[in-house]
Chain A
Amino acid sequence: MGAELGNYKSCVSARSTDKELLKNAQDGGIVTQLFAFALEEGIIDGAIVAANKEFYAKYPSKCIQDSSNLDMIEPWRPIPAIVNTKAELLAAAGTKYNISPNVALLKEATRSFGLDKIGIVGTPCQMQAVRKAQLYPVGLRNVGASISLAVGIFCMENFPYQSILQLVEDHAAMKLESVKKMEIGKGKFWVYGKRGQVVQLPLKITHKYEQPGCHVCLDYVANLGDISTGSVGSPDGWSTVFVRSKIGDSVWGKAMAAGCFETQPIEKVKPGLELVTKLANEKITKNKKTLEGRATFGVGKALRNPYI
């Protein structure tokens, strides 16, 4: 295919040089380190991230409002939040594996939160939303030009919150509040308990709980982020990083010069881009088939295709 990894200026395997930061990080701490650096340098004056209940308890005014109050927020439910400091950023680190509608804060970030230079992290579909917001700002006045750093994360699929609840509490038989970390890797869904127990579920089990909207997505490695990153392709504790746009190139260059990251050439690491390419093609091929299936879904009736 060839286009499965999107356009990029450079690609490396990297991890943060901040040992403290790596303790809470999902893999190489790329997103947290990038935003910490960008905040410090004034490249952004705040970032939209996926926080959680503990964060909400500590910084209620930094979170999006839905109809939940603190008591109603379950462990591992992502809460979109604005962070302005490194402490807030660290409190929100780590992958949540269910839907965090970060784009919902995009306009509010420039209004109530008064940001002029927004950082945002999101899945490939959320990067698509950000770029659409910049090119077709139907309801987002004075927002597009304020987006100063959009970091995309690799994504095969996402889950509704209730799916994560079902997988962890039903299939893995662990309480969500006792979970320290979740991870998808090496063909399995991993749940790590706070007391050291580890449960792995084959992805065969998780597939049926995926969010349906993910099955028409044709982007695995966040082609539209300024920078995109994910664990796939790099050794444990490291992340694969694609630098894509002019903004991304400039920020990455500055962060490297400031010693934020140690890197290895992607060609030198195992499993490397070969695996990223393979998984990207798998996702795109599978979802193209879904889209084709939608075109002949009924009897002479199609389901809607969002791609024009």
Chain B
Amino acid sequence: MADKITVGYTHLSGCTGCTVALADNYGGLLTLLDKYVDLKYIPTLADARHIQKVDVSFVEGSVCINDKLAVEEIKETREKSAIVVALGGCACYGNITRFTRGGQQNQPQHESYLPIGDLIKVDVFIPGCAPTPELIRNVAVMAYLLLKGTKEQKDLATAFLTPLMKLTAKNEACGCDLIVDVINQGLCMGCGSCAASCPVRAITMEYGKPNVERDLCIKCGACSAQCPRGFFNTDVISQYEAINEAIMAALQ
């Protein structure tokens, strides 16, 4: 189909969990590929893996700055993509690669890893470890609407993507962002979204407020992005029923 958007997938220092999350859309992924997305290259899932010119690039993993190829690839990705989406905690915030000190086989000299936003301008963040299949799907559908939709659809897609674009302002997450951006700012109302979204159960709710066990935190950024007082775009979320129905219908 001519009016598909072209998409690429750059795989840097990540564990392939993000790729698996994308694939875990099952039939939805096939519908996406049938109707909306021309997936130009993606390691693991397809033979084509060299970076090409595309509308949207998803990037999994952080960049090892001691690895020339990784640095070249992230720069090439930026040059050849209209929109770059940092997919998952490693690309957005470094995630567990923040803990590496090098010394691992078989490339012990690879010790310095940066979230991609430290090297290139990133347009959209999808935090989390692993990011959820549903959010990847929602962003893919919205990216399609943004590039190929009617005026109304473009407006909706812009409104939906805006908070995920604003997340790109910060390249660090450590659980303390909950404390700094929400509690210290007098915004927490004790819903428990942070505790529910934490993939490693580092957060418990004590007397209605989050307590972050920082030794457990892997720095994926899920908690503060899931927090309704992290961001809340009332206009979009109030239409949750219609938007969810539209996305499900699009993937039928």
Interface residues of A (CB under 8 A from B): 7, 64-68, 77, 80, 98-108, 122-123, 125-126, 128-129, 131-144, 158, 160-162, 211-218, 223-224, 245-246, 303-304, 306-308
Contacts and interface: CB of A to CB of B under 8 A. Distances in A.
Contacts of A137: 132, 134-135, 226
B232 A132 contact: yes
B127 to A, nearest CB: 6
25 contacts: A66-B205, A68-B206, A77-B207, A80-B192, A104-B195, A122-B191, A125-B189, A126-B192, A132-B228, A137-B132, A139-B128, A139-B222, A141-B130, A144-B244, A158-B189, A160-B208, A161-B207, A162-B207, A213-B188, A213-B189, A215-B186, A216-B186, A224-B237, A245-B241, A307-B234
B190 interface: yes
Q: Chain B contact residues: over half helix, strand or loop, or mixed?
A: mixed
Nearest to B229: A306
B135 A138 contact: yes
Contact of B195 (A101, A138, A211): A101
Interface residues of B, number: 58
A240 to B, nearest CB: 21
Given A139-B222, A161-B207, A224-B238, A307 B192 contact: no
B189 A217 contact: yes
A135 B139 CA distance: 10
Nearest to A128: B228
B162 A303 contact: no
A139 B196 contact: yes
Contacts of B230: 306
B166 interface: yes
B236 interface: yes
B205 A158 contact: no
B191 A140 contact: no
Interface of B: 21, 126-128, 130-135, 138, 160, 162-164, 166, 181, 185-193, 195-199, 204-209, 211, 220-223, 225-226, 228-234, 236-238, 240-241, 243-244
Contacts of A306: 187, 228-232
A135 B205 contact: no
Contacts of A307: 232-234
B186 A104 contact: no
Given A99-B207, A101-B208, A141 B187 contact: no
B197 A139 contact: yes
Contacts of A246: 241
A308 B189 contact: no
Contacts of B244: 134-135, 144
Residue among B163, B189, B220, B230 facing the most chain A CB atoms (10 A cut-off): B189
Given A132-B228, A140-B197, A212-B186, A104 B192 contact: yes
B192 A102 contact: yes
Contacts of A131: 237-238, 240
In the A-B complex, the 10 residue pairs with the closest CB atoms: A104-B192, A139-B197, A99-B208, A101-B192, A139-B222, A213-B189, A99-B190, A104-B195, A101-B205, A141-B132
Contacts of A102: 191-192
B238 A303 contact: no
Contacts of B197: 107, 133, 138-140
A67 B237 CA distance: 33
Contacts of A217: 189
Contacts of B241: 245-246
A160 B183 CA distance: 13
